[in-house]
Amino acid sequence: MTRFIKNLILLAIAVVLVPLSVANRHTVDLALNPFDPQDPRLTIPDIPLFWVIFASLGVGIVVGGLGAWAKQGRWRKEARLKRREADKWHKEADQLREMTGAAQPNANAKGLLAPDKRSAA
């Protein structure tokens, strides 16, 4: 089911991106110097416009993902601490089980112990 939904979302994205790239296939010059756009050292000539659009979207997605990852650092730290604490308690419980198992020599015996021979009357 999740694979179907993933493919459906990818199909919707493709339906939007393919016409966008076909409509914007003319070339542009990308100037990376905002103070002197005519500077040939920082100008990338003849790039299809859809490459610029897709690269901008990709950089935005990466920067947004890094921002979300950094914002969730507190929760990851808390989960790490809780995991360590749970491991400590599990180890202590296992040690207590081993200690109580060693104190009872007939721990593997099945059934109840035999009653005493004395009568209650």
Strands, E assignment, the chain: 27-31, 43-48
**pLDDT digit string, tens, across residues 28-67:** 988 888 888 888 888 888 999 989 988 998 999 999 999 9
Q: Is residue 67 part of a domain?
A: yes
Neighbours of 73 (CB within 10 A): 9
**pLDDT digit string, tens, across residues 59-117:** 999 999 999 999 999 999 999 999 999 999 999 999 999 888 766 655 566 766 666 66
Q: Is residue 53 part of a domain?
A: yes
Q: Is residue 32 part of a domain?
A: yes
- Considering its fold, how many domains does the chain have in total? 1
User: In degrees to the nearest 10, what's the CA dihedral of 51, 52, 53, 58?
Assistant: 80
Cα–Cα distance for residue pair 8/10, rounded to 1 Å: 5
Q: Is residue 7 part of a domain?
A: no
Domain that holds residue 23: 14-74
CA angle, 31 as apex, 30 and 32 as ends, to 5°?
115
Q: Is residue 38 part of a domain?
A: yes
Q: Is residue 90 part of a domain?
A: no
